[in-house]
Amino acid sequence: MNSQTKNQSMFQGPIVRQALRDSFKKLNPLIMMRNPVMFVVEVGTFITLLMLLMPYYFGVQDQMGYTIAVFVILFFTILFANFAEALAEGRGKAQADSLKKTKADTLAKRLNEKGEIEEVSSTELRKGDVVVVETGDLVPGDGEIIEGLASIDESAITGESAPVIKEAGGDFSSVTGGTKVVSDSIKVRITADPGESFLDKMISLVEGASRQKTPNELALNTLLITLTLIFLMVVVTLLPIAGYVGVQLQIATLIALLVCLIPTTIGGLLSAIGIAGMDRVTRFNVLAMSGKAVEAAGDINTMILDKTGTITFGNRMAAQFIPVGSSTETEARGAAVLSSLKDETPEGRSVIELAKSQGFTVDPAPYEQAEFIPFAAETRMSGMDVNGAVYRKGAVDSIQKYVQGLGGEIPADLKEKSDQIAGLGGTPLAISTGNQIVGLIYLKDTVKPGMKERFDELRKMGIKTIMCTGDNPLTAATIAKEAGVDDFIAESTPEDKIRVIRDEQAQGKLVAMTGDGTNDAPALAQADVGLAMNSGTIAAKEAANMVDLDSDPTKIIEVVSIGKQLLMTRGALTTFSIANDIAKYFAILPAMFTVAIPQMEALNFMNLNSPTSAILSALIFNAIIIPLLIPLAMKGIAYKPMPAAALLRRNLLIYGLGGVIAPFIGIKLIDLAVGLFV
């Protein structure tokens, strides 16, 4: 989404006008039935309308003015509730319209079976097709780079103008349809059929077409329906009771009482709160696959973070070749180059670049037929076999086991030198030739600035942070201390990440996980909240239930805050809605029974003008409180990190006590105005 859409005002003219039109469309009973509380209000409004159309049948010919007032107020109550939902949906539709402009039908340069380029429409591309994308071309569909490196402008999706580097191999190989190549040329393997692309999913989600009610929302909806049924039975049984004590109750008054008793405030705003919560996440450039994921983020207890690219910048580059044992630096450098010659990962390329900067070059032609051994999470090493000679590089412990398996010995100074590198916060990679370890590669990485403060913020939220890394324990401990995480797991494999997540979940905790690589996919799928990076692999994005378009792994903190904000907003407005019913009881009930039971006048401590004025004032307040709370429902309650108990006390004080006091003031002020006409 572009920055203009992200910063779009809540009450933009076109959105408000469309929301007003949709408010009337939503009066359709088939649509209103999705919201049982407001459907009851609509039924009451319809009955009041019938009373106006057939006054003699209902015997209200002498109370036409009162009945008209009740009908108008009820009608606007429904419109206000529909407007809140339509406004929330309208913001999503505006985002979708912006994204649809990005999703243009473009020409793609597809490679046919003969390896020749043929121009086809992007709508004709299918999974597995390979396309060439050159400078100035739009990427025709979602895919992974299989050859080359390019600078890509993703502003159409993320709103950020600075281009990003994408390359074959590693965890930064995926590209999104609609983005633009601004330099170089790449070959891309298409990974999504038309209609199933990342952009298609975004459009569907922000339009609200695939929004499903979350478990918390369904539970609250059940509570609201139960309260509505209880009060419906109360009002129905009130009619014979009133007749018994000699009070003649008008049907319009009973309908007004019912509408004021049932939780219309939260009933009218509930859907808008959920839609707005999804919208706030999207405005942070995070695509949530479901509202359930957003809510789960608000209840997170533990956060698992990958070190590389999350806590550190992730650009681990070779900085030095260090010989061990009796080997020379030249031997270590040569073995490092040969083990990295066909390694397309950023680390592998950095080894070649470092060797070149030191004046060492090698002609790759003689090694074209050599067997390349790619890096695997299980072996944690890679290399090349050349005419019987075996070159490997990888984690120190993995190379040690590998060499010992071949009958080789471990150099005496290997541990000391690797510990020195780890102590500096770097990552040591061991290099071997045959069954002999000849040296170490010093990979440098840097902790991102401000990480310690952000982890302190998470700690205040009561969230435990665990760093997972493939580094040795000494390097991991150094980075963990510098970053300020609560715990770390060194030399971790994908299985270790899943084990940690399951252990935390077994204790009843909700776990969040960030990742960008294919090896992170199983853990992302296992976590309650999996946040994948847009720059990461297709496998990671498909496994997660959230995708960060900006590829900023620390954004999980904002996601957690938004999740907490969503839960707090719903809880606070529910508390306010139920609390403000108290004032309505004191306004309507004395007005209904004072004539027959004069002693009930004592309950009229608000000193309202008349029974009619009291009922209309309570009904008007019940209606206008919905639009007054729309900005709060849409923006959400501001969240500040604090213990759950303190947060509960704060909200009960503001929205519980405030929900009791505000209606007394509001109804009294409205009564003063209504009293001038009644």
- Catalytic sites, residue numbers: 306
* Residue 371 is assigned to a ligand binding site: no
Q: Which of 322, 581, 311, 333 is nearest to 452 (CA)?
A: 311
Q: Which of 544, 534, 517, 514 is nearest to 158 (CA)?
A: 534
Long-range contacts of 362-368 (CB under 8 A, 24+ apart): 362/334, 362/337, 362/338, 367/338, 367/341, 367/342
Tokens of 38: 């407001």
* DSSP structure string for 52-72: HHSHHHHT-GGGHHHHHHHHH
Facing residues of 548 across strands?
Answer: 286, 533
- Amino acid in position 138: L
* Residue 375 is assigned to a ligand binding site: yes
Cα separation, 646 vs 444, in Å, equals 43
Tokens of 358: 């030191």
* Residue 372 is assigned to a ligand binding site: no
Facing residues of 181 across strands?
Answer: 152
* Residue 343 is assigned to a ligand binding site: yes
Cβ atoms of residues 455 and 332 within 8 Å: no
Place of tokens 């298609």: 200
Cβ atoms of residues 434 and 406 within 8 Å: yes
Torsion over CA: 20, 25, 27, 32 (sign): negative
DSSP 652: I
Place of tokens 């109750």: 249
Core vs surface per residue 377-404: b (16+ CB within 10 A) or e = eebbbbbbebeeebbbbbbbebbbebbe
Ranges of beta strands (E only) in 608-678 are none
CA distances from 626 to 19, 264, 582 (A): 15, 8, 17
Cα separation, 235 vs 257, in Å, equals 8
403: helix, strand or coil = helix
* Residue 389 is assigned to a ligand binding site: no
* Residue 64 is assigned to a ligand binding site: no
* Residue 516 is assigned to a ligand binding site: yes
Cα separation, 323 vs 432, in Å, equals 11
Cα separation, 512 vs 526, in Å, equals 9
- Residue 109 zone, left/alpha/beta (φ > 0; ψ -120 to 50; rest): beta
Instruction: Provide the pairing of β-strand 487-489 with 464-468.
Output: parallel
- Residue 108 zone, left/alpha/beta (φ > 0; ψ -120 to 50; rest): beta
CA distances from 602 to 291, 594, 607, 619 (A): 48, 9, 9, 21
* Residue 124 is assigned to a ligand binding site: no
Q: Which of 309, 303, 308, 296 is nearest to 486 (CA)?
A: 303
- Amino acid in position 258: L
Q: How many residues does the chain have?
A: 678
Q: Give the relative orientation of helices 611-635 and 64-102 as an angle to the nearest 10 degrees.
A: 10
* Residue 381 is assigned to a ligand binding site: yes
Q: Which of 310, 311, 352, 314 is nearest to 333 (CA)?
A: 352
DSSP 320: E
Per the annotation, binding residues for ATP are 343, 347, 375-382, 393
Per the annotation, binding residues are 343, 347, 375-382, 393, 516, 520
Per the annotation, binding residues for Mg(2+) are 516, 520
